[in-house]
Structure 1
């Protein structure tokens, strides 16, 4: 998308488009007490009516239905759809910003997919709820109001995709759901120093092209202490182009998994491996030596996830593989294996550009 300048969009009478995807924010509760998302048109209409009643008169909102489901059912095809929809919304220079209502379960992945493509200065805010629409203390209406006000405020320009929930405002990269039920559902894993002190090129580089997530398999493999390589090998057999291995500490792996990664580096250079951590905060780094240590893994071409956790590292790896594969669309089928290995090598070289706070 061509960059839209401030001269092309009006902030005097901002127009915010709300893209709805379902989730708890429009969910209802059954007589048995189960919260059910989907079939939420009445709840969505009521939510928008309530929003318009409290918005400042100069802010105009419109809605666009994209999906209507619990976000735990979302996957790569849904990421593609949301990215395409937001791009289409922002193709209109009369739109000042976009809000995406989304279930909190997988909001961090969708936020990452959007932010990797979002070079437009206009804000995109993701919001949702921890309590259903029919809860006596529903948090969705306040979250939606905050998200719309933020998207309409010129101060939010050039900040990329923002997550707005529980009165918290967080940049997309490094964000993760940290609590299953608390209204302040998300936290951001980032260095102690403030974002404004970082060189601009390290804040949020965007992709050179459009990723197509649905065509690129990347799996996350949990690697708890003492685990073997059965899950890793199954993912490779299933056709994974990339693996995000969730280790311990700063991204260290059990010995048997490390041995399998060493064999993979020799036998399958077309598969990119990233080491992440199960630890909630801090950076995954190539620090420790020895069998399974991050430094030993890095020597075999394993990448560190940095401040990203496994969900967002998976999105980034799939995006880079997809964009890099796009450069090889005309490759002869007989050399696909070599082409995949070359693409994987390019992804390894490119990774440091997108490694959060490299």
Structure 2
């Protein structure tokens, strides 16, 4: 199977293709700074021994001159602020002496000892992925390293690089497999929409139908926007999004009001409908409506028997906007107080009765 690498990348990302000493040194410094710390060494054990400039230089040169791999970087003030290794499907490590015409440069940096360590780690990692994912792992992309220099962290640079890989995987309908034993790194990937897979609690992949679908929905929203009166205000992960909704027109009883709709997605979305509530705290209050309770729970058949997998997050917002637009009188549902007093935290656990579709 072959693939065509993109000729351009979204700014400020570029592909590192220069194996010059200066370029290698800058990237190697970032790798060492990001990975050579007590937490990583404690989690990786013996595998992390010898994390130094020499080893990282060797790794970078191998990746840069192997046309099957990509090293993407973001540079700030002449520093490599962040970088990522993208490993393509069906990738197998080549012997160093096969990577002509750069044999001389490699021979000086990739010592037999380092190459032996690399082969040992690659073999163990490949077997771990095969045991966890099965033969399907050969069809997945892998993230070899994703590192942000300590001085450039918390700027969203890692997310920018990850989005490039996610877009690639989504366009080719592939999954992404990676292994990370570091708890803080694992938690970051979970927030980015990855899922723990396997018994080891360190195998992660973007493999669920939910993640794929939501990445497509988010791309559609970014590319095409949302309907008038509806805005996406929060989509930091693939588990919970928040939209604001305004009802249009001068005749609406909600003129000038803005409501916030929270949508939580389960792993079986869109086969199963999401958890949808109006926010009832902070600057937002739920709309006073016969089908909306003061805790934000909503009684609507679209969030039950009339749900269809062809619907999406924006469809839900449009339905809620239409439901509010048809309301002629502000009032809470009958039995609001008793329901709120005993309501489950998740409205999907409520047995709703749908008998009034006039508002």
TM-score, structure 2 as length reference:
0.28
TM-score, structure 1 as length reference:
0.28
Higher relative contact order (CA 8 A, sep 6+): 1
Q: Which of the pair has more CA radius of gyration?
A: 2
